[in-house]
Structure 1
Amino acid sequence: MRVLLVAALLLVGSGQAPATAAGTYELLFRSTALKGLEAVPAGSEAGQSTVVYDRLVSGAADGQMDGSFSIGLKVKADDKVTMTLYQGTRSRGLGEYPASVGNPVIMYFLESVLADIAAQSGGSPFYMRNRIKEALLEDAQVVPVTRQYRNRDVAAQEVMIRPFLKDKARARMGRFSELALTVTVSEEIPGWYYSLVATVPAAAGASEVGYSHAITLDGKGEGKP
């Protein structure tokens, strides 16, 4: 899972408008995403987080990761940020990263989606990873939107990536060729990301549901998960 994370760390108007390749990457991997967030004081309660996200997955390959989770990001005084996955009373560390390179939740999101669709489709995770990495460095459509945070409307931007839309192997990928990655960002949102959503439709006439993986900023945006 760390391969795409490391690669991402190293690459550090009105109406509907295209973003240049550089603009797309800057929107998705903003190096200053955690700027201005206060560090959690040393010795504070173990579960205390700086920013909390709700994570909801449905239609995963084996169903084990289906359900509702929380992700807590703790910014520390030593310019490090830790990421923890919570489900009920259980928790699992997701790593520690330099806070100066940005918010690692997007890298966790991309790797989780990659693992899910590779397992379901039976395709090569290496091939899919490369296509996603290429899509992150291409032009994208960016739509200005409004989102509600703390009972007020905030201006945001919605970026959609379709990594397999023009892929040469699209015909063999079935419904997974329709993967859409939609990331909503805003200067007014702590941590930069309002939501990160991946969707794959269900196969036509099939009984299984489509795949959905959504990570959304908690309504309070801070505190315990």
Structure 2
Amino acid sequence: MRRASLLCTAAWLALAVPPVFAQTQPQPQPQPAAPEPSAAERLVFQQDHLANTRQPGALRYVYVEEAEGKPRVTDRAVITLSQGAAGCCDVHGDYLTGALAVNLPDIPQARGNPVVLYFLEGEVRRLQRTTNGQAAHFRRRIRQSLVDAATVSDTTIRWGAKDVPARLVRIAPFADDPFRNRFEDQAATEYTILLSDAVPGGVYQLRALLPGASAGAAPRASRTLTMAETN
């Protein structure tokens, strides 16, 4: 289990270049210049989400899952920030429970909020479990959609009894997947990532939404992780 966790974390971090989730990640050897990252990549994978949270504490999130014909599921996630040898913050995640749990290695001297990794990895594992597809393919499609198919818009969220600025990143990574016929019932899933510098940890909400079968129909499924409180 530990080895699998290390591998999947490495897979996401390898996709996020340059990584900010761990300040201590090894520096790559010189290579030909890569294309400039998209706005969505910068916001999701290169932003210093924890810039406003550089002290020990906890970021708490509430998870809600709803699907047609199934009971509503609620759970929680806690990202714990602690004082490390080089200062704050080393990060440990307790992400959901039971079959939904995702266990990843602790990250020393984190800069990006790893709740993004936990949520996306949870989605990848769910797709792998329900479709018998390959985790690497789903990770790659999500990452590539942030490169060339994401939309980024300005919005506001309600936080601390007032409206604060936020950025909304939206992707539909499997809309044009050449293999979507193998998991057609889930290929229309859309993901949104709601970020705000006014929120401790910088990440307010992540959501996966499977739209209704027709225009105006209720969503067939949704999975939402929303910041609840801090201490």
TM over 0.5: yes
* Cα distance in structure 1, aligned partners of 2:104 and 2:65: 17
Number of the residue aligned with 1:46: none
**How big is each residue's C-alpha offset from its partner over 1:139-175, in whole Å with a ceiling of 9 and x where there is no partner?**
4211211110011101111110111112212334312
Q: What is the deviation of 1:120?
A: 2.0
Pick from 73, 76, 83 the counterpart of residue 70 of structure 1: 76
Shift in CA distance, 86/142, structure 1 to aligned 2, threshold 3 Å = closer
* Cα distance in structure 2, aligned partners of 1:121 and 1:103: 29
TM-score for both structures, normalised by structure 1: 0.75
1:100 aligns with 2:121: no
Number of the residue aligned with 2:9: 5
Amino acid at match of 1:50: A
Amino acid at match of 1:9: L
Q: What is the deviation of 1:182?
A: 0.3
* Local SS of the residue matching 1:177: coil
* Local SS of the residue matching 2:53: coil
Larger mean CA deviation between 173-182 and 136-145 belongs to: 136-145
Asked if 1 retains the 8 angstrom alpha-carbon contact of 2:64 and 2:73, the reply is: yes
* Cα distance in structure 1, aligned partners of 2:133 and 2:6: 19
Pick from 46, 50, 61 the counterpart of residue 53 of structure 1: 61
* Cα distance in structure 1, aligned partners of 2:206 and 2:193: 4
Pick from 134, 148, 151 the counterpart of residue 138 of structure 1: 148
**How big is each residue's C-alpha offset from its partner over 1:169-197, in whole Å with a ceiling of 9 and x where there is no partner?**
23343121101110011111111111000
Task: Calculate percent identity across the aligned residue pairs.
Answer: 23
The total of aligned residue pairs comes to: 196
* Cα distance in structure 1, aligned partners of 2:8 and 2:176: 21
Shift in CA distance, 101/120, structure 1 to aligned 2, threshold 3 Å = same
Number of the residue aligned with 1:32: 48
Amino acid at match of 2:60: V
Asked if 1 retains the 8 angstrom alpha-carbon contact of 2:205 and 2:226, the reply is: yes
Number of the residue aligned with 1:43: none
Shift in CA distance, 94/124, structure 1 to aligned 2, threshold 3 Å = closer
Shift in CA distance, 21/170, structure 1 to aligned 2, threshold 3 Å = farther
Number of the residue aligned with 2:133: 123
**How big is each residue's C-alpha offset from its partner over 1:195-216, in whole Å with a ceiling of 9 and x where there is no partner?**
0001224668xxxx83322110
Asked if 2 retains the 8 angstrom alpha-carbon contact of 1:31 and 1:100, the reply is: no
Q: What is the deviation of 1:121?
A: 2.6
Amino acid at match of 2:82: K
**What is the CA RMSD across the aligned residues, in angstroms?**
2.8
Shift in CA distance, 92/195, structure 1 to aligned 2, threshold 3 Å = closer
Dislocated runs of 4+, deviation >3 Å: 1-4, 91-95, 201-204
* Cα distance in structure 2, aligned partners of 1:71 and 1:217: 9
Gaps of 5+ in 2: 20-35
Amino acid at match of 2:156: T
Number of the residue aligned with 2:192: 182
